[in-house]
Amino acid sequence: MNNLLSESIQQITGQLKNWRRDFHHFAESGWFEFRTATIVAEELHRLGYSLKMGQEVIKADARMGLPSAQALQDQEQRAIKQGALTAWLPHFSGGFTGIVATLDTGKPGPTLAFRVDMDALDQNEEQTPAHRPYADGFSSCNAHMMHACGHDGHTAIGLGLANVLKKHESQLIGKIKLIFQPAEEGTRGAKSMVEAGVVDDVDCFIAIHIGLGVPQGELACGSDNFLATSKIDVTYCGVASHAGGKPEEGKNALLAAAQAALGLYAIPHHSKGSSRINVGVLQAGIGRNVIPDHALMKVETRGETNEINEFVYNQALNIIAGAAKMQGVEYKLELMGAAQSSQPSPRWVDFIYQQARQYVPELSSVVRSRKQPAGSEDATYFMERVKENGGQATYLIFGSELSAGHHNERFDFDENVMTTAVKTLATIAFHLSDFEG
């Protein structure tokens, strides 16, 4: 089987690169993945997968950080001009850009789910000959949208895996679900898919990422260093007034935001683990002689555990409210994104470790876990739901050489990692009957 698998993957190596470069060129950020989703849906349909899309797999009121209706409409029209397959667009209109493809083998066995993300970042890409995507003609053509984290590669890996699994369907058991998630950046999309129930029947779950500081050729079978996070936008609303003539009539929204920002950084650390808080944006005021009546502050909290993040978050809410009261202004708060902390399932990690070492010689190193710089990932929502239901879950990282760090305008990766990832994930699926969960 290993030789047949290698041959099948070799046959799609060129297509993996084509998919990845196409998605990279037409980068689409969170909830705007209209063109990407239609291409993914078309390929999965061609292969014969059973598809659920849009509002079938995304709970509308659980979405976070959703752009305006006008922005969604504008980006859908942009996608059409750039080659979105219009037959599929009604499923995704309004930003419901998620897909779940199911392969039912008809044989008894567990349900195995793989999650890949599809969205780009809200940043501009380097446009110089020193940057390979530009030199080779596939850098992003969309302003302020760039695949600077590798999700273009993840989507390609998902499609490659779909091809290989379908071709060798007779070697599989149970059900395979391929989850194509929108809006991972900003940790906005997974919760809405979880609340739509897409993993409620899943026994074994895997999310993937490439890069993340893991050395070229290495597989980390159970990354466990993701911090729980909450991302909030705070708007203070005061009363404008002439700063010289009638200062007593004004209510200073800028001052409330500034006092809140300083107070947030005074939140104490927690004895049970690390925590973070950051005020990344503070915008206010229209002129030097006007009491500012409006201020926007963008904040994120993080914690090593859900408990620690909740502590920081609740402290932040008190400070935000207190600053408003001090200045006599109103405020509103909007949750823009969130993720949990989650520990991989040890037996599942060990099984993947053994399979990768035995059947994927392309990997130069396989480790059970590797501590990476602490960020956040909303795949943890999927992981926690599967584990709550008695299943197994983990997060795999495939090491790759990078031209620059994640979220950098010069980000690029070694495309050979995609074939290694497809082979590893397919190997896990083909040997699932050996797992004693």
The set of residues, in sequence order, having a beta carbon less than 8 Å from that of 179 and lying 6+ positions away, is: 57, 98, 99, 100, 113, 114, 115, 116, 193, 198, 199, 382
Q: Is 154 annotated as a binding residue?
A: no
Q: Is 185 annotated as a binding residue?
A: yes
Residue 414 · residue 216 · CB < 8 Å: yes
Output 7 or 148, whichever has higher pLDDT.
148
The set of residues, in sequence order, having a beta carbon less than 8 Å from that of 7 and lying 6+ positions away, is: none
pLDDT (tens digit per residue) in 275-291:
999 999 999 999 999 99
Mean per-residue pLDDT over the chain, rounded: 96
Q: Is 151 annotated as a binding residue?
A: yes
DSSP designation for 65 = S
Query: Is 140's pLDDT higher than 80?
Result: yes
pLDDT (tens digit per residue) in 213-230:
999 999 999 987 789 999
The SS3 call for residue 146 is strand
Q: Which residues pair with 301 in a beta bridge?
A: 230, 277
Confidence of residue 158 (pLDDT cuts 50, 70, 90): very high
Q: What confidence score (pLDDT) does residue 436 get?
A: 78
Domains defined along the chain, listed by start = 1-225+340-434 (3.40.630.10), 228-339 (3.30.70.360)
Distance, in Å, from the CA atom of 286 to the CA atom of 281, rounded to the nearest integer, reads 16
Q: Look at phi and psi of residue 390 and say left if phi exceeds 0, alpha if psi is from -120 to 50, else beta.
A: left
pLDDT (tens digit per residue) in 170-200:
999 999 999 999 999 999 999 999 999 999 9
Query: Is 323's pLDDT higher than 90?
Result: yes
pLDDT (tens digit per residue) in 84-123:
999 999 999 999 999 999 999 999 999 999 999 999 999 9
Query: Is 135's pLDDT higher than 70?
Result: yes
> How confident is the model over 432-436, as a mean pLDDT?
91
Q: Is 91 annotated as a binding residue?
A: no
Q: Is 294 annotated as a binding residue?
A: no
Query: Is 5's pLDDT higher than 90?
Result: no
pLDDT (tens digit per residue) in 30-52:
999 999 999 999 999 999 999 99
Output 224 or 206, whichever has higher pLDDT.
206
pLDDT (tens digit per residue) in 326-356:
999 999 999 999 999 999 999 999 999 999 9
Please state whether the predicted TM-score (pTM) of the whole model is above 0.85: yes
Express as a percent the part of the chain with pLDDT over 70.
99
Query: Is 372's pLDDT higher than 90?
Result: no
Q: What confidence score (pLDDT) does residue 152 get?
A: 98
Output 6 or 437, whichever has higher pLDDT.
6
Q: What confidence score (pLDDT) does residue 150 get?
A: 97
